[in-house]
Amino acid sequence: MIHKLMRSKAEPGVVSESAHTVAGAESPATPAETSAPHKNGATAISTNGTQPSLSLRGICKSFPGVLANDNIDLDVFGGEVHAVLGENGAGKTTLMKILYGVYQPDSGVIAFKGRETRIQSPNAGRRLGIGMVFQNFSLIPALTVVENVALFLPSYGMFLSRRAIARQIQEVSDKYGLQIDPKARTGDLSLGERQKVELVKLILARAEVLIFDEPTSVLAPHEVDGLFRVFDELKRDGYAVLFITHKIQEVLQTADRITVLRHGKVVECTPGEGATADHLVAMMLGIGVPEVVRNTQMRQHSANGAAVEFRDVWTAEKNDPRGLHGVSFHVMPGEILGIAGISGNGQQQLGEVLLGLQRRRSGSVYLFGEDASGRSIASMLDAGVAYIPEDVLGMAMVPTMKVEENLVLGELQKYGNGGIWLDRKGMRRQVDSTLSRFPLKLAPLDTRVEHLSGGNIQRVVLARELAMSPKVLMAYYPTRGLDVLTAETTRGLLMECRDNGGAIVLVSEDLEELFALSDRLVVMYQGNIVGEFQPESASLHEIGLLMTGHHM
């Protein structure tokens, strides 16, 4: 959402709101230096000991067929990092969106600094002092950092001083070691740098509670360490940092308190000190720690040639970092080729070129030794190519359709009965047959996909694509957003596909996953392949550096 430069009127329905200073009028203050005034008559919620910055009592939220949040209590304090863990569908993202005003709770009470409030929109949440960094950033690539920040800041005048805003950005950047150039064009920044811009936006808008949704999913290992150092600085300055992650080691590394959700309920809130991975997994899943899948078997490939081969493929000019620049690679039947790289460095174009969704400027693509130029998408799918895209909801699903309908997308003509009505019984028999062999539990088949969590949507795509026993699988972040058990089961499915002769191109930012599953690894940066490795002879650190443009 693009925010107007002028926002002089309070949003209706907000019981409590913070008073903000005109952007550029003074240097940003920390929560310890400011406090948000509240209107008279607001109801105070009593707490024991230190007053929470944010307090929830009895929060419930349901969607058709889904109880996402079930009587949740949560306290968030200034000067702490608070992690929220839970399996897919546990209600984590729904809860964060309630805190930020995207959703309204069906029942329950929210208090900010002990005063009851209703947060009826994200704009109201920001005015109250709550900010959220989503996985999909709300930045305009064509604008500079200063211009993107200016769009976000509250303003009570006709004009904003770019020089003053640039000075404030630089002050925040220097204070927290963010290394942001205020004059840089946002589209030229890495995803990690864009995340830092989002954080600066929140700090300059006087947010006191900072919510991060899977903040490390777009970061290389050394950038994750940098983010956690920023968390430490924010904590020392009195900010309340609340973040969602499925990576338990990150929680153990940085969290002061940990809240675990399961089936929409809080099952535990525990101090970070003394917490163990085994215990957290048990709380999340209600079972013990799953066995981690590892690729330990060296494959003997057939002499019949590559399943997929790219030869000097270009899709863009040299100065366009989003396209492919002379990319060459191959993947054999019965092999997993790992593609490491931060999202936006050409990985998406690999799948689009293979399927024919994007034209090549030059170069060739071969499928089982035959030139695939000019082949239709349908013929590629018929040849045994399966595709798990980066944007599963936008590219692989019809959100308004039910789960069972999405499971047979591309095959709906089989159930047309020669007319306009679908053969629902035949479709359900096919879906039941498919799911009887699939180890992951899906949401109810009559649930519309738009009402599912990200992890449950991912399961539907995995079930549909892997059920075809593909000869070639392009898989983008197949375990993104999945809980520990589901992620390990998914890795096992990928290994099974490989062992059955499937050729897999596995794109992921999770380097540990790539090291565990890949037979070979290549690294992409700005549309180029900048390194190729055997996993057993490479290090996380050197690959992380290559992912961010630091050539060895």
Instruction: Give the per-residue pLDDT at 119.
Output: 93
Residue 445 class from Cβ within 10 Å (0-12 exposed, 13-18 middle, 19+ buried)?
middle
19 in a domain, yes or no?
no
- What is the reported pLDDT for 249? 80
The verdict on 358 and 500 lying in the same domain is yes
Give the residue, 65 or 213, on which the prediction is more confident. Answer: 213
- The larger pLDDT score, comparing residue 451 to residue 318, is at 451
Three-state SS letters, 506-525:
EEECCHHHHHHHCCEEEEEE
- According to DSSP, the β-strands at 503-508 and 472-476 are parallel
**383 and 276 housed in the same domain:** no
Q: What is the pLDDT of residue 33?
A: 59
Helix (H, G, I), strand (E, B) or coil at 176: helix
> Which phi and psi angles does 295 have, rounded to 5°?
-90, 100
**Within a domain: residue 472?**
yes
> What is the end-to-end Cα distance of the chain in Å, rounded?
39
Instruction: Compute the mean pLDDT over every residue in the chain, rounded to the nearest whole number.
Output: 81
Using alpha carbons, select from 315, 338, 334 the residue that is nearest to residue 325: 315
CB atoms within 10 A of CB 552: 8
Residues 312 and 251 in one domain: no
pLDDT at 11: 36
- Whether residues 349 and 468 share a domain: the answer is yes
CATH code assigned at 454: 3.40.50.300
- Comparing C-alpha atoms, which of 304, 373, 333 is closest to residue 469? 333
**Is 3 among the domain residues?**
no
Are 322 and 231 part of one and the same domain? no
How far is Cα 439 from Cα 505, in angstroms, rounded to an integer? 22
Q: Which of 89-93, 127-131, 142-146 has the lowest mean pLDDT?
A: 89-93
Q: Is residue 352 part of a domain?
A: yes
What count of Cα atoms within 13 Å lies in the side-chain half-sphere of residue 56?
24
Q: Distance (Å, rounded) from C-alpha 77 to C-alpha 5?
A: 31
Per-residue pLDDT, 97: 92
Mean pLDDT value of segment 502-526: 89
Highest mean pLDDT among 96-100, 345-349, 510-514: 96-100
- In this structure, are 259 and 323 located in the same domain? no
At CA 149, angle to CA 146 and CA 153, rounded to 5? Answer: 130
User: What does the longest C-alpha to C-alpha distance in the chain come to?
Assistant: 79
What does the angle CA 122 – CA 128 – CA 130 come to, to the nearest 5 degrees?
A: 60
Residue 27 placed within a domain: no
| Residue from 224, 273, 262, 254 nearest 483 by CA | 262
- 314 forms bridges with which residues in the sheet? 362
pLDDT of residue 14: 37
Pair of tokens at residue 160: 């904003």
% pLDDT > 90, the chain: 32
Q: 100 and 249: one domain?
A: yes
Handedness of CA 55, 57, 62, 66 (dihedral sign): positive
pLDDT tens digits, one per residue of 216-275: 766 767 778 888 988 999 999 999 999 887 677 888 989 999 999 988 999 999 999 999
- Tell me the range of 21-25, 361-365, 409-413 where mean pLDDT is highest: 361-365
378 plus 429 within the same structural domain: yes
Give me the amino acid identity at 156.
Y
Among residues 406, 389, 409, the alpha carbon closest in space to that of 505 is found at 389
Predicted confidence band of residue 436 (pLDDT cuts 50, 70, 90): confident
pLDDT at site 518: 94
Which pLDDT value is given to residue 9? 31
Rg for the chain, CA atoms, rounded: 25
Residue 165's domain comprises 76-104+119-285
Q: Is residue 161 in some structural domain?
A: yes
- Assign 357 a pLDDT band (cuts: 50, 70, 90): confident
Q: Which of 226, 20, 251 is nearest to 124 (CA)?
A: 20
Q: Each residue of 43-87: pLDDT tens digit?
A: 333 334 478 999 999 999 998 777 899 999 999 999 999 999 887
Same domain, 365 and 439: yes
79 versus 437: the higher-pLDDT residue is 79
pLDDT score of 103 more than 60: yes
15 pLDDT higher than 50? no
Does 132 have pLDDT greater than 60? Answer: yes
- Tell whether 281 and 314 lie within a shared domain: no
Taking alpha carbons only, the member of 445, 342, 361, 355 closest to residue 403 is 445
Are 437 and 539 part of one and the same domain?
yes
How much is the pLDDT for 536?
A: 85
User: Is the pLDDT higher at 381 or at 220?
Assistant: 381
Statement to judge: residues 270 and 387 lie in one domain: no
Task: Give a yes or no: residue 99 inside a domain.
Answer: yes
Domain count, the chain: 2
How many C-beta atoms surround the C-beta of residue 81 within 10 A? 24
pLDDT band at 327 (very low <50, low <70, confident <90, very high): very high
Closest CA to 503 of 293, 294, 310: 310
Q: Which of residues 218, 253, 285 is at a domain's end?
A: 285
* Residue position matching structure tokens 């970061």: 219
Does residue 4 form part of some domain?
Answer: no
Q: Which of 129, 355, 383, 329 is nearest to 242 (CA)?
A: 129
What pTM did the predictor assign? 0.59
pLDDT in tens, 515-527: 889 999 999 988 8
